[in-house]
Amino acid sequence: MNNRSHRAFKEQLYDQFVRIGRALANPHRLELLDLLAQSERTVEDLAHEAGMSVANASQHLQTLRAAQLVEVRRDGLYGYYRLADDSVFRLWQAIRDVGETRLAEVERVVRTFLDDRDSLQAVSAEELVELLHDDRVIVLDVRPAEEYRAGHIPGARCLPVAELEARLRELPKNREIIAYCRGPYCVFADEAVALLRAHGYRARRFAQGLPDWRVAGLPVERLEGDEP
């Protein structure tokens, strides 16, 4: 390969990688990837969760699809979007990790909006693996029920945070509760732990979320009959 063809090869190769960078260079698209890591969803569901119009969400999804980061499954009039594979979540995970390490602003934003998080005593994945075998512990999935059905930590109970206060009597006070949700920047588990403690329960939160648990190779259960 001569120098001229070598340069052409490199330029064309890196130009393809830039497609991924361009697709990710938008906060709304990163949030959509985070949501799709929980379960496949329609554009209407994603728009509602992300606080966007359907048209805007659809445009962002088309950009992600053009970069081969998401796929769509058609079912009648509806299209169900999902991550292309686990490597897409690992890419978002890597961006998170680098941002936390290199950008002081990330920690500042987290502390500004989640100033009491340190008091919630986060549980690591390694510790949670051990606690799954402890009959004195209840693992609580506080995400929406459809996300629980798509995949959850084995043995976890489904109790969405929006329903938690009305259903507190379902939880015994003589057992510790570990709540988890979508990931490290999801506030559902924080809200659940704060509510549980206010009512006299012993509660902590899982430091990560179901997608992090899954890509670490840890076991995940699904309810029968749900689409993969």
End-to-end CA distance of the chain: 45
Question: 181 catalytic, yes or no?
Answer: yes
Determine the number of helices (DSSP H) and then strands (DSSP E) in the chain: 11, 7
Q: At which residue do the structure tokens 């690992």 appear? A: 90
DSSP class of 152: B
Question: pLDDT tens digits, residue range 141-169?
Answer: 999 999 999 999 999 999 999 999 999 99
The pLDDT of residue 224 = 65
| Below-70 pLDDT ranges, the chain | 115, 118-120, 224-228
The pLDDT of residue 165 = 97
Structural domain spans, the chain: 3-88, 115-215
The pLDDT of residue 228 = 42
State the pTM of this model. Answer: 0.90
Report the alpha-carbon angle 131-132-134, nearest 5: 60
Marked catalytic residue, from 32, 181, 203, 207:
181
Closest CA to 88 of 10, 23, 156: 23
**Quick one: 115-215 is in which CATH superfamily?**
Rhodanese-like domain (3.40.250.10)
Topology (CATH level 3) of domain 3-88: Arc Repressor Mutant, subunit A (1.10.10)
The pLDDT of residue 225 = 56
